[in-house]
Structure 1
Amino acid sequence: MRKIDLIIVHCSATPEGKDFTTADIDRWHRQRGFASIGYHFVIYRDGSVHHGRPLAQVGAHCQGHNAHSIGICYIGGLTTDGKHPKDTRTEEQKSALVALLRKLRVQFPNAKIRGHRDFAAKACPSFDATAEYAII
């Protein structure tokens, strides 16, 4: 298994209230030249957690940090018009994300939880994941 010291939270940068799937993200990422979906997990608006890349495989979600991190993406992150960042997480997504992060912290106790915005000039995941998950 890879040495994991980061768990990085992302949003799909899609409009509020619209559903997308791992297959959609896989297609988008392949169009950008990735081998497959770049995230290890995707959380749908209903709170269901779906697998992307296997944990043993290096992700493609945060340049310079992929080799030692796990990427989690929630569906949403933009206003309904798709023009501005917004924390669009449903209550189900919030609960699922906390549960997944807790599970991953058991497996990788030294991993820090961060948002993509902590590593790139982006709003992603449209909320301060570092502060929100500091006690997990």
Structure 2
Amino acid sequence: MRTINYIVIHCTATQPDVKIESIKRYWRENLKWKNPGYHYMIKADGKTVNTLPIDQVSNGVAGWNSQIINISYIGGIDKSGNPEDTRTEEQKKSIVKLLRELKSTFPKAKIQGHRDFPNVYKACPSFDAKTEYSGLS
């Protein structure tokens, strides 16, 4: 098992109704990624989908991925494409449940948002994950 130092929250920077398969296709065809961007994706209805085993490296944060588990909720932008916290109550509950499970396995891992890494110039996940989940760290 690889060393996990961070559990990172992302948004897909899409509308909340985008299908996971279309996101995965974008990664493969446009970005030419062999592995998904996230280990888990949370649909608007709260369903958690494991898109990559956690013992494999995903593509969530350039330069850091070997020590990260990446989680994303589907959404994160408003109708005009601007960053906005669009998490549903179901997504919020599922994220907390997943974070608790992962923290029980990786108790030393820090929980933070994509935007909390050095040299990241994006709003992802469109809310302050570091503060919101500080009680779980």
Same fold, judged at TM 0.5 (above): yes
Alpha-carbon distance in structure 2 between the residues aligned to 1:44 and 1:21: 9
Q: Give the aligned residue type for 2:36.
A: I
Which digits, 9 at most, give the CA deviation of each residue in 1:66-122, with x for residues without a partner?
Answer: 00000001000000222x100000000000000000000001000000100012111
Which digits, 9 at most, give the CA deviation of each residue in 1:3-46, with x for residues without a partner?
Answer: 1010010000013xx41233122111112010032200000000
Query: Is the CA contact (8 Å cut-off) linking 1:10 and 1:115 kept in structure 2?
Result: yes
1:28 matched to which residue of 2? 26
Where does 1:33-112 land on structure 2 (aligned, <5 Å)? 33-82=32-81, 84-112=82-110
Q: Give the aligned residue type for 1:24.
A: S
Alpha-carbon distance in structure 1 between the residues aligned to 2:51 and 2:4: 17
User: Residue 111 and residue 86 in structure 1: after superposition, are their counterparts in 2 closer, same or farther (change >3 A)?
Assistant: same
SS for the counterpart of 1:78 is: coil
Alpha-carbon distance in structure 1 between the residues aligned to 2:17 and 2:49: 13
| Cα RMSD for the two superposed structures | 0.9
2:13 matched to which residue of 1? 13
Alpha-carbon distance in structure 1 between the residues aligned to 2:22 and 2:125: 18
Q: Give the aligned residue type for 1:135.
A: G
Alpha-carbon distance in structure 2 between the residues aligned to 1:112 and 1:85: 24
Alpha-carbon distance in structure 2 between the residues aligned to 1:125 and 1:96: 15
Q: Figure out how many residues of one structure are paired with residues of the other and give that number.
A: 133
Structure 1 length-normalised TM:
0.94
Alpha-carbon distance in structure 1 between the residues aligned to 2:73 and 2:19: 10
Runs (4 or more) in structure 1 with deviation over 4 Å come to none
Alpha-carbon distance in structure 2 between the residues aligned to 1:56 and 1:69: 10
